[in-house]
Amino acid sequence: MTNKVKVVVTDYIEPDMKWEEEQLAELHVEFSYYQLKFRPMEEVLEKIRDAHIIVVNMVQLPRELIEKLEKCRLVIRHGVGYDNVDVDALTDRGIPLAYMPDYCSDEVAEQAIALIFACARKIVWSRKVLDESSACGQWNFDAVIPMYRMKGQTLGIIGCGRIGSLTYLKLKHFGFNFLICDPYLSQRRAEALGISLVDHETVFRNSDYITIHTPLNDETRYMVNANTLAMMKPTAYIINTSRGPMVNENDLAEALRSKTIAGAAIDVFEKEPPDPSHPLFGLANVILTPHLSWYSEDAGWSIREKIIEDIRRNIAGQPPRFCVNSSVLEGK
């Protein structure tokens, strides 16, 4: 019978786990890793039932599975969001949930900015101009008309935490007017950023571009819907690099078809990857990217290092760097 700490990775997106094996060998832990994303819950439970530390990427951890864990003392979510994990069930068991909110903030902010610029300058649609003009031998710019100067336009930011505030700071010298909504942002932090906060409706009614940077919860789910889309200017664009269910995708597709808004740029989807029949596929006035806003080589290594750090901390009896349900740490 072993007294070693058992660490299990349920699923991973890295090419392999060789680096992790090397790092954890120094800690003399029992380390196993799998690709269980599409496996039955019974198989997932078999692999993690007696684990002390579980690292999860996209595998679902519902209450009925969490209640059967025998030795778990830490779950680490490989990423920023944690909507695939039943936080309440972990809290009931006294198990902390660590997550990685700081590994790709620059990347997501840069993706949002890139998509804002792509909408403003109609970069994707410009290829149609080139192809059609090349075919007929003269320029025809109808596909990208109208286009407006970004300086002086209004950018709405919903959510001004790590990524939303970085987006603001990176864009503040581009001449935008800003409307920022975040009911959880302290007045002190708002003053430090030099911003004034407005309500949700003001952002939707008055922005030329809206970029979403809030966590997914019951309050934010489907915040972009038929009602909020109807508030927007017909020349406005919506950009989502946060979580897919922030947007009611059927409502957005209808708003794009009916030209209620000018366009959208979407990096995240309610179901990932989306089905070929997804309502946004085939629409001319939307830019779609495959949930890549988190990615850079730098971010990929950063999250691996941070996960190993949290494993080390747990073995040393220290709390994780960031804990979703920090109440379970009280008294430990």
For 33-84, write each residue's pLDDT tens digit: 999 999 999 999 999 999 999 999 999 999 999 999 999 999 999 999 999 9
Q: Tell me if 246 sits within 8 A of 216, measured CB to CB.
A: yes
End-to-end CA distance of the chain: 27
Instruction: Report the C-alpha gap between 228 and 203 in whole angstroms.
Output: 10
Cβ burial of 319 (10 Å; 0-12, 13-18, 19+) is middle
Question: Beta 286-288 vs 263-266: how paired, if at all?
Answer: parallel
Say which amino acid occupies 261. Answer: I
**Stretch(es) of the chain classified as CATH 3.40.50.720:** 6-103+297-329, 105-288
Strand partners, 248: none
- Mean pLDDT calculated for residue range 16-24: 97
Phi, psi angles (nearest 5°) of residue 237: -125, 145
CATH topology of domain 105-288: Rossmann fold (3.40.50)
Q: What's this model's pTM, rounded to 2 decimal places?
A: 0.91
**195 to each of 96, 116, 179, 191, 311, how far by Cα in Å?**
34, 20, 9, 6, 38
CA angle 236, 238, 244 (to 5 degrees): 165
pLDDT mean across residues, the chain: 96
Question: Beta 154-158 vs 6-9: how paired, if at all?
Answer: unpaired
pLDDT of amino acid 16: 97
- Mean pLDDT calculated for residue range 259-270: 98
* Cα 24 → chain centroid: 28
pLDDT of amino acid 331: 64
pLDDT of amino acid 222: 98
Residue 5 carries which DSSP code? P
- Mean pLDDT calculated for residue range 17-35: 97
Strand partners, 286: 264
E-only strand ranges, 139-193 = 154-158, 177-181
User: 3-state SS string over 71-87?
Assistant: CCCEEEECCCCCCCECH
- Mean pLDDT calculated for residue range 271-300: 97
Strand partners, 237: 209, 263
Q: pLDDT of 220-255, one tens digit each?
A: 999 999 999 999 999 999 999 999 999 999 999 999
Question: Beta 97-98 vs 74-77: how paired, if at all?
Answer: parallel
* Cα 87 → chain centroid: 18
Q: At what angle do helices 18-25 and 297-315 cross, to 10 degrees?
A: 30
Q: pLDDT of 181-221, one tens digit each?
A: 999 999 999 999 999 999 999 999 999 999 999 999 999 99
pLDDT of amino acid 330: 86
pLDDT of amino acid 1: 44
Instruction: Report the C-alpha gap between 278 and 258 in whole angstroms.
Output: 17
CATH topology of domain 6-103+297-329: Rossmann fold (3.40.50)
Does the pLDDT value for residue 2 go beyond 90?
Answer: no
Q: What pLDDT band is residue 3 in, cutting at 50, 70 and 90?
A: confident
Sign of torsion over alpha carbons 306, 307, 310, 316: negative
- Residues with catalytic function: 243, 272, 291
**What b/e readout covers 198-212, taking b as 16+ CB neighbours within 10 angstroms?**
beeeebbbbbbbbbb
How many Cα atoms within 13 Å fall on the side-chain side of residue 297? 0
Q: pLDDT of 116-159, one tens digit each?
A: 999 999 999 999 999 999 999 999 999 999 999 999 999 999 99
pLDDT of amino acid 266: 98
